[in-house]
Structure 1
Amino acid sequence: MKRHIKFISIALATMFTFSGNLVSAYALATSADSSSNFKYGMGNIDSDMEPTLDRDPDKLSSSSYDLPKSVDLSLSDYFPCIRSQGQIGSCTAWASTYYQFTYEVAKLNSWNAKNDPDKQFSPKWTYNFINEGEDNGSSFQDAYELLSKQGAVRYSEFTPTGIDTESEYRTWYLNKDNMKKALQYRVSEYRYKAFSSQEDETPITSPNSISLLSMKSLLNAGKVLTVQTYGRGLDYQKLKNQYNSTLNNQFVCTKYSYVEPSGHAMTIVGYDDNITYDLNGDGYIQDYEKGAFKLANSWGTSYENGNDGYIWVMYDALNKISNAQNQNVKGRTTIFKYYGYAYINVEEYPLNLIAEVTIDQARRNELRVDLWQSEISKDIPEIYKTTFLNGIGGEYNYSGLSANPERATFVFDYSTLCYSQIQRQKFHVSVRDLGTQYNTFVKSIKLIDKTGKIVVNDNINDTFNNKTKLYSYAIGMIGDVNNDGCIDSRDITDLQSYLSGNIDFTSDDMLVADVNGDGKISVNDVLDIQYYVAGFTDSFANGHFVKLG
């Protein structure tokens, strides 16, 4: 059985920094499909997972099927304009990051992202990180995991050119400041669903078929969906005699039949139950000849068989076996692989505590970094682990163009790793050199809270090969005097009792009680905590966290 992946509040978020120049290429990215000889990129690769059947017996009844006849989320200001992936096999990143992630983050913030590259997210960022350094496509599983751990940089910060060069698909984005900004918004949940059982070969017989309910309900609720489909073997026809004359002469896909491997990813942005196409050619419209999904493609706005960058897909094309016998040609199967579709939720993260780890390496596939959290009494981490940089990126340095050692800073978000308030705990970073040929040099580790305070500044200067090094730091929360995971009136009481001589403080108690950072405990610290508890301030002069002794 293959794995089904679900990401909920994923903890780790990792970034990179490197001194380098970025190339702005808006014109190339938007006009790359203007040549008649242009090669359109595809590149979707199946993930090691399978969709779960989307069936809720309490909701899937004929009486509950009360949805609008059409929805079009591409008209929303949240949905970005159509652009082209060019010659690069980055369609998965375009569907997941540029279209879907941009839309969800824009909706979260009420942004107008339609034509604003500063409010759109870069598919090049995602693709280059998950493609192992080669232009051979990528999977949704890897894309969503990256978006859950790191978020994405803006389109304006890492703009695709669409030109088939090694630097275009191999270079990692390494600007630390923008990578920190990317940590703010991330995928918090990812669902991969199937609209029907794999054994059902003709699950859709009309626009009211129960198999359509979940997808249409999600679209009606404002969710855009991604699908694995095909770039070749699609049968395009022109619509005519439509209820809305503006639809006439638009292209609609009526079926898929296998011609050669051609994995491609697209984004479902809407549906229209009123669209019709006479599939069996008898001059009449049956129920199964009604309805189509609207998909956003990433081949620009002027490619052949495209409707300004979008395509319609008849509901019947989702069937493995068509309701119309003449549509059951050799090699036909469902146009949505495995009857599957995916949707995401995104969240804004507070970034309470991040770790900046600066490392030199000549081969990015020889580097593995693990982030840990444990009880303060534990010298060896044993809880809340997540892995990053597990030998990914191919045999290249961080910029992807040579084997020369490079320095980069990886930025992890610790604050979502734990599932409770941060108390006095140990935070660990383990760095592993997976190879034998090139040394790993750990330059430094910094822990920084959201006020910008550097809680830990560890200049390590550690060189090693084919081994793992563990770096651990005991951290306490400023103001949490009684160490119960929250700051409230009980901390005020304990601090007052200490000043009155009624209780003793340990050295760690003293560190977290010094909320104004003046090096001593006084009534001023009591007042500062009182202001905090009353809601007059949201942080202390001494920051949020402190390194314990």
Structure 2
Amino acid sequence: MKLPLAYKNKYLPAIVDNSVLIYFRPLFEQVHNECGQASGIGMNFTYEIDFLRNLSANVEENQYPTHYCWNFENGGNGWYGVSYFHSFEILKINGTPNVADYGGMSAGGPERWLSGYQEYFNGMHNRINNYYAIKVGTPDGLLTLKHWLNDHIDGSDHGGLASIYSDSGWDTHLLPEGTPEEGKHVIIEWSSVVGHALTICGFNDSIRYDYNGDGIYTNDVDINEDDLINMKDWEIGGLKFANNYWQGTIYADSGFCYMMYKTLADEFGDGGLWNNEVHVVKPKEEYSPLLTARAV
């Protein structure tokens, strides 16, 4: 996804937090290896389709389960995690029932195969047009993501969410005393292990962390001593994300945490985010199948 030229100098607020909107469902705890579906479907798709339909995500009829898509490809017994890219393809060609029709986020466990024509038919109406990557390792890429979070890059009243692959977010630090959001948790670097999915829900241009220990917070000093000054040197600004792992809301700050902008630019394996990219979905607001088949 690229930022339109008209957005290059468009106003952005210093803080966006979409977790406070009605389209953002309450956090939940993943129960198996379905982190990709927890982020990609349970959080991201739920938010985006509810936004288009102007529905509140705090009821099961407007939430979407993890295990319907996960069970297609988890090995038959839940042993394997499944990339949310694969599940997005299912959302394109098949759709998904809501939580009420499925009976819960993970009803029936990792071996269940949904039965019932009406449930499948209802799910056919909940699809995506497509999904997109945003390369966020440069200021231009970050700007694209921030505009997506702010107004979906289309002038909407509210912006969207994004999913990422990373480690489980276990190595958190605290934002320093006397700085914005002091005492809240922050990721200052990612490990080289990619086995978890998280959901980006906002940004804050003012949070800061003193990487080089010089007592000041800068974005214009070569803190990594590579003779360049770029986003890898930024000590100011970060994204807010939600984590459905580790008992849901017990993680970090009631299930939420920050990650520094710097981690978007650093190389993977050297503190950086996997592939230096995030992923967004664009659902269909309405869809009706033209032809269906039912076995009797």
TM range, smaller chain = 0.7 to 0.9
Q: 1:257 aligns with which of 166, 175, 191?
A: 191
Tell me the residue number matched to 1:399. none
**Which fold has the larger relative contact order, with Cα–Cα distance below 8 Å and residues 6 or more apart in sequence?**
2
Structure 1 residue 154 corresponds to structure 2 residue 98: yes
Contact preservation (8 Å) 2:39, 2:198: yes
Structure 1 residue 117 corresponds to structure 2 residue 47: no
Counting only pairs closer than 5 Å after superposition, residues 493-532 of structure 1 correspond to structure 2 as none
How far, CA to CA, are the matches of 1:347 and 1:220 in structure 2?
Answer: 20
How far, CA to CA, are the matches of 1:352 and 1:169 in structure 2?
Answer: 28
Contact preservation (8 Å) 1:237, 1:253: yes
Post-superposition CA distance 1:200-225 (Å, at most 9, x none): xxx4xxxxx33311110100111211
| Cα displacement (A) at 1:349 | 4.1
Contact preservation (8 Å) 1:69, 1:273: yes
Contact preservation (8 Å) 1:78, 1:103: yes
Q: CA RMSD in A?
A: 2.4
Tell me the residue number matched to 1:227. 164
Cα distance change of structure 1 residues 56 and 294 upon mapping to structure 2, 3 Å threshold: closer
How far, CA to CA, are the matches of 1:82 and 1:91 in structure 2?
Answer: 13
Bigger fraction of residues in helix: 2
Tell me the residue number matched to 2:230. none
| Cα displacement (A) at 1:295 | 0.8
Tell me the residue number matched to 2:145. 215
Contact preservation (8 Å) 1:70, 1:270: yes
Structure 1 residue 342 corresponds to structure 2 residue 279: yes
Query: What amino acid sits opposite 1:70 in the alignment?
Result: I
Tell me the residue number matched to 2:119. 178
How far, CA to CA, are the matches of 2:248 and 2:96 in structure 1?
Answer: 24
Contact preservation (8 Å) 2:48, 2:283: yes
How far, CA to CA, are the matches of 1:277 and 1:118 in structure 2?
Answer: 41
Post-superposition CA distance 1:395-452 (Å, at most 9, x none): xxxxxxxxxxxxxxxxxxxxxxxxxxxxxxxxxxxxxxxxxxxxxxxxx6xxxxxxxx
How far, CA to CA, are the matches of 2:24 and 2:59 in structure 1?
Answer: 11
TM-score, L = length of structure 1: 0.46
Contact preservation (8 Å) 1:69, 1:274: yes
Tell me the residue number matched to 1:131. 74
Tell me the residue number matched to 1:67. 12
Q: 1:236 aligns with which of 165, 172, 175?
A: 172
How far, CA to CA, are the matches of 2:64 and 2:267 in structure 1?
Answer: 38
Q: 2:206 aligns with which of 274, 285, 290?
A: 274
Tell me the residue number matched to 1:92. 36
Query: What amino acid sits opposite 2:250 in the alignment?
Result: Y
Cα distance change of structure 1 residues 242 and 106 upon mapping to structure 2, 3 Å threshold: farther
| Cα displacement (A) at 1:185 | 2.1
How far, CA to CA, are the matches of 1:333 and 1:70 in structure 2?
Answer: 24
| Cα displacement (A) at 1:321 | 5.1
Post-superposition CA distance 1:377-407 (Å, at most 9, x none): xxxxxxxxxxxxxxxxxxxxxxxxxxxxxxx
Cα distance change of structure 1 residues 242 and 174 upon mapping to structure 2, 3 Å threshold: farther
Contiguous gaps of at least 5 residues in structure 2: 152-158, 220-233
Q: How many residue pairs were aligned?
A: 272
Query: What amino acid sits opposite 2:270 in the alignment?
Result: R
Contact preservation (8 Å) 1:236, 1:252: yes
Cα distance change of structure 1 residues 347 and 120 upon mapping to structure 2, 3 Å threshold: same
Report the identity percentage: 24
- Secondary structure of the equivalent of 2:146? helix
| Cα displacement (A) at 1:137 | 0.5
- Secondary structure of the equivalent of 1:354? coil
Tell me the residue number matched to 1:506. none
Contact preservation (8 Å) 2:18, 2:201: yes
Tell me the residue number matched to 2:257. 311
Tell me the residue number matched to 2:270. 332
Cα distance change of structure 1 residues 350 and 230 upon mapping to structure 2, 3 Å threshold: closer
Query: What amino acid sits opposite 2:64 in the alignment?
Result: F
Larger Rg: 1
Tell me the residue number matched to 2:5. 58
| Cα displacement (A) at 1:333 | 3.8
How far, CA to CA, are the matches of 1:225 and 1:235 in structure 2?
Answer: 21
| Cα displacement (A) at 1:193 | 3.0
Contact preservation (8 Å) 1:278, 1:285: yes
Bigger fraction of residues in strand: 1
